[in-house]
Structure 1
Amino acid sequence: MTRLSGCLDVVAAVIWRDGRFLAVRRPPGKAMAGMWEFPGGKVEAGETPRAALARELREELGIFPSRLVFWKETSHAYPELRVRLLFFHVWDFPGEPAALEGQELAWLTPDQARAYPFLDADVDIVGELAGIAGPPSFVSGD
């Protein structure tokens, strides 16, 4: 994984349960409030992407991923910010995700997600997930 110059590194989780993934809606008061996204957040200085994802999921949702696999890297340029997104598939975690930061949660099939207003940086990922109609075989253990 190469780092882009002048770019914010962000980790994101595609958290699977019964053929659906977890989407979160950005709460009022946050940038791009009302838009849907994959849970995750910024990679802090000195943090590995895996450690950042575990921290973010604990802070946002109160879960601790026990099985996750790096999936892909993408980048997106917003008018005010460039982000490099590192997506992980997560399919095993104890507990139940909770909206600890005031966000709305929804378990969506990949096809249902197409009808939700996702952040621009996530739109292509939503489309790609709809094309596979469920977690990849390496995620489900097949």
Structure 2
Amino acid sequence: MKCSPKIVHVVAAIIWRDGKYLGVKRPEGKPMAGQYEFPGGKVEPNESVRAALVRELREELDILPTAIAFFREKEHAYDHISVHLHFFHIRAFEGEPLPREGQEMEWLTPAEGVAKPFLEADREIVAQLAVSGDGVVQ
């Protein structure tokens, strides 16, 4: 009998600049290395999703988001983990994104994002951004 993994809450930031969003490539040595994702990470126990988002962006990119807008939630089950994702649009931030964890980063137009190998859990979001252009559904 297969035991389903526990659900991990994760925050993900769609960071915008000049009509492009930041795609981050998972570094070697991490699960699913080489695939793109939106910056973010796990929500710690007793931490709000908003606080987790701010903490993760500081740790991962050395930026402070100043315009945070909730976008949507979704769940996704991988073989090794189930995630409940909380997506946010970040349209303003302090600092310049730096790859503090050795990850490659790339500013992508919504159309360019579709051609990148994003994590399975993010692909629906990438496709939605390509249709809407900026994640805002008219």
- Is the TM value for this pair above 0.5? yes
Letter in 2 for 1:111: A
Partner of 2:28: 28
Contact 1:23 1:38 in 2 (8 A): yes
Q: 1:107-122 maps to which residues of 2 (within 5 A)?
A: 107-122=107-122
Q: Deviations for 1:41-97, whole angstroms, at most 9, x for unmatched residues?
A: 000001000000000000000000011011100010001111000000001101110
Counterpart in the other structure of 1:75:
75
Runs (5+) with no aligned partner, structure 2: none
Indicate the SS of the match to 2:60: helix
Find the counterpart in structure 2 of residue 52 from structure 1: 52
Letter aligned with residue 106 of structure 1: E
State the secondary structure of the residue aligned to 2:64.
coil
Number of paired residues? Answer: 134
Contact 2:128 2:135 survives alignment (8 Å): no
Cα deviation for residue 127 of structure 1 reads 0.2
Counterpart of 2:105 in structure 1 is: 105
Q: Deviation at 1:134?
A: 2.3
Q: Which amino acid aligns with 2:125?
A: I
Q: Per the alignment, in what secondary structure is the counterpart of residue 32 of structure 1? A: coil
Contact 2:36 2:117 in 1 (8 A): yes
Counterpart position of 1:132: 132
> What is the TM-score with the length of structure 2 in the denominator?
0.93
Whole-Å separation in 2 of the counterparts to 1:123 and 1:86: 14
Identity value in percent: 54
Q: 1:135 Cα deviation (Å)?
A: 4.8
Root mean square deviation, CA, Å: 1.5
1:99-122 Cα deviation digits (max 9, x unpaired): 000000000001000110000000
Structure 1 residue 20 displacement after superposition:
0.3
| Structure-2 separation of matches of 1:62 and 1:98 | 6
1:6–1:82 contact (8 Å) kept in structure 2: yes
| SS of residue in 1 equivalent to 2:89 | strand
TM-score, normalising length: structure 1: 0.91
* Deviation readout 1:16-44 (Å, 9 max, x if unpaired): 01110001000000010000000000000
Runs of at least 4 residues of structure 1 off by over 2 A? Answer: 134-137
| Residue 43 of structure 2: aligned partner | 43
